[in-house]
Every structure is written in C-alpha cells, then in structure tokens.
Amino acid sequence: MSDFAPPLSGATDHADLPVTNGILKGRDGWLFLWDGSNEVHRYYTEPEFFAAPQVAGWAALLKGRSERCARMGAEYRHLVVPDKISVYPQYLPVTLPHYGGHPTAQFSRALSGDAAYVDILPDLRGERGNWAERVERGGGEAVGSDVFFFKTDSHWTFEGCQVGYLRLCESLGVTPCDLSKARPGAGREMTLDLGGKLSPPVLEHARFGRVLRQSKRQRENEMVRYNEREGLAKGAPAFVGCMVHNHNAQPQAIQKRVVVFGDSFCEFRGHLLTAMLSETFRDVHFVWSTSLDWGFIEALNPDIVITEIAERFVNRLPTDDFTVDPA
C-alpha cells in the first residue's frame, strides 16, 4: 500500500471503499465505524451535516447548563470523546474531503474559551504532549497514540480513558488518583464491537483494567440489575437509563459529590471513566443518558456535574428532559 491514502472526491463516492456491514477496513488492521444509524462518515464527507448552526446549538446548551449548575453551586464540565476516524486519519484507506470539519475539530475551535468544555482531541492525536508516556500502560504492543483505542472496537482503552480522566481532573483543579494498581492483566483474544460485525469475526487481544477498588457501589437501578443478571450474558443489554451510585469512604477521597451523565465511554461497570472518578471523589452518581434529568441532579445537590458524549452522537442535540428511574 502506498504511503498516502488516495482522496475521496465526494460524499457519494463510497462504492469502492472497503466497507462491510457498516465497518470501514483501514490500514494495519484498524477498523472504523462508517455507516449505521449515526451515519458517521457524513461528518467527514458532507460540510452541511454538522455545521455552524449545530455548533451554535451546542454552545448555547453548554452555556445554559453551566449557568444552571452555577445557580445550585456546582461546577460543570462537558467532554466529547472523539471518534476513531478523528483520532487516526493516518489509518484510513482514503483521504476524506471534509476531515477538518468533524465535530470535535469544530468544537476545539469554537469552544476554546469555554471553561466547561474539556477538549481532549489534541491529546489523543498526540498533538499536545506525549500522553502515551503520561498514562499508566495497560500492556500490549501498541506504541504512541495508538494505545488509546482498540483496533477492532469503537471504544477507548484503559489508556485512552485516562486521557479524558486526567484532563477532567486538571480542569477541575483536583489531584488524580493512583491508577497503577488498576493496570489490566494479561487479557485474552476476543471479538469486540466492530470486529464482530465482520464475517468471519476479527479477534483482538483485549485488556481491561479493574479500576473500581476503593469505591464501593451503594445502589443501582433495575436496568443495571437486569444487565448484570442476564442482559449482558445474553447479548441483549439495555443501557440508556442505567443508574449507579458509588461511594468512596477512603480518607484520601476528595469530599465532593459528582453527578455524571454519559454513555459507554463512562460505563456503570468498574473499568472506565465512571470508575476512575469514583476512585477520586467521595460520591459519584452515574446515569447512562446524554440528556439531563434536572430534578434528579438538584435532589442530589452535587458539587460537580459532568456530561460526556461520543462524537458520533452529537448531531442530536440533547433536550435535557430525561427522567431517571432510580428503583
């Protein structure tokens, strides 16, 4: 293969791409989500798919959230986890015509002065310091910024999650916890979410850290209980609406209450961002939703409110009318 990917001339020229079941096959074994309900490729090929009006909508939403949190005495932070296409364009089989207009690139420019927005795109791309040397390593042969995402999954690794976690801590002015004991073990060959869409499935040696150690779960709702009882094992999980409360009684825990609304990059299980925050703060309440439930938040009277969303979901502006079922 040549050193440079050939250009993709327009949004309609997809027929010759190596796309199978919505998965784009990249260089060196990298797989990317391309089609599907979120139409990820359109962020990189169609200038009007996510443009100034959408960016303005997000800016207004974050401003409104920040102001409402401030009125209740809480700090607010928002994190967008970049898509793999945004982080690793060097592994794409083509050069995308609108690559620089993807949402996190636009947010980096438009929200650079917004204290609520935690920008991790330059960190994950290795453009703002060598974060691969700053995080606890999870093992494996990947080097540099390649460690931050799985090759055959749409999600970040133990290392990639730390980048978001450390930037959040920095933004909030708090000392991050020691994650050295959370390093993943040997791991195993397994089918991840992108590799599983191909036939035959593409396996990857995956490692997951056990982050949640000092903090203990105090409560979960029925949706979490269903997932842990049978939903995950049957391959029929239900995620939106999952709620957990973790409590950290250790004296080194920062004595603050944190509410997190996020998605699969946070998780209710003990290996990603929710767990890292739970090891840091006294109380962390996580809800799997990109829209907020203000009644739920106000009843908890938190010190900090954090929202997280995957880049591929940002074309649907949250309406913040969600209702959490805590039972």
Least confident of 9-13, 154-158, 246-250: 9-13
Answer whether residue 33 shows pLDDT above 50: yes
Q: What percent of the chain is modeled with pLDDT above 70?
A: 95
State the pLDDT at residue 142: 87
pLDDT band at 3; cut points 50, 70, 90: very low
State the pLDDT at residue 7: 60
pLDDT in tens, 186-236: 899 999 999 999 999 999 999 999 999 999 999 999 999 999 999 999 999
SS (H, E, C) the chain: CCCCCCECCCCCCCCCCCEECCEEECHHHCEEECCCCCCCCHHHHCCCCCCHHHHHHHHHHHHHHHHHHHHCCCEEEEEEECCHHHHCHHHCCCECCCHHHCHHHHHHHHCCCCCCEECCHHHHCCCCCCHHHCCCCCCCCCCHHHHHECCCCCCECHHHHHHHHHHHHHHHCCCCCCCHHHCCCCCEEEECCCHHHCCCCCEEEECCCCCCCCCEEEEECHHHHHHHHHHHHHCCCCCCCCEEEEECCCCCCEEEEEEEEECCCCCCCCCCHHHHHHCCEEEEEEEECCCCCHHHHHHHCCCEEEEEEEHHHCCCCCCCCCCCCCC
Domain range summary for the chain, segments of one domain joined by +: 19-119+192-202+210-313
